[in-house]
Amino acid sequence: MGRPMGLFGKTKEKDKNVERLQALFDRFEYPHLAKLCTDVIKRTPTSVDGERIERTQYVEFIWEQYRKGAMNFQQVMDFATSQGIVPKDFFD
């Protein structure tokens, strides 16, 4: 059974963006993940006992925020190009 189609194919569009975001996050270095959280999401993951947050924890936190709607694909793409992580034509 497939997932129900959202209005005007929104579900399909979101699936495509998930793949694109995965490719994008592969290009992010640790400092980029931290800056994305502070600059775009305006929240950062909290660490236990003040330990350094691992890269995987940042990525999981960012996915969680994406699913909640705290940010969208375009915001991540704009951030990535403004930070020089990827060129503007990365997905062309």
pLDDT score at 50 = 82
The model carries a pTM of 0.81
Asked whether the predicted pLDDT for residue 2 surpasses 90, the reply is no
Return the ∠ at Cα 27 (arms to 33 and 88), rounded to 5°. Answer: 100
The rounded mean pLDDT for the chain is 88
Asked whether the predicted pLDDT for residue 35 surpasses 90, the reply is yes
C-alpha 90/C-alpha 25 separation (Å) is: 13
Asked whether the predicted pLDDT for residue 6 surpasses 70, the reply is no
C-alpha 53/C-alpha 73 separation (Å) is: 23
Dihedral of CA atoms 22, 32, 54, 45 in degrees, nearest 10, equals -90
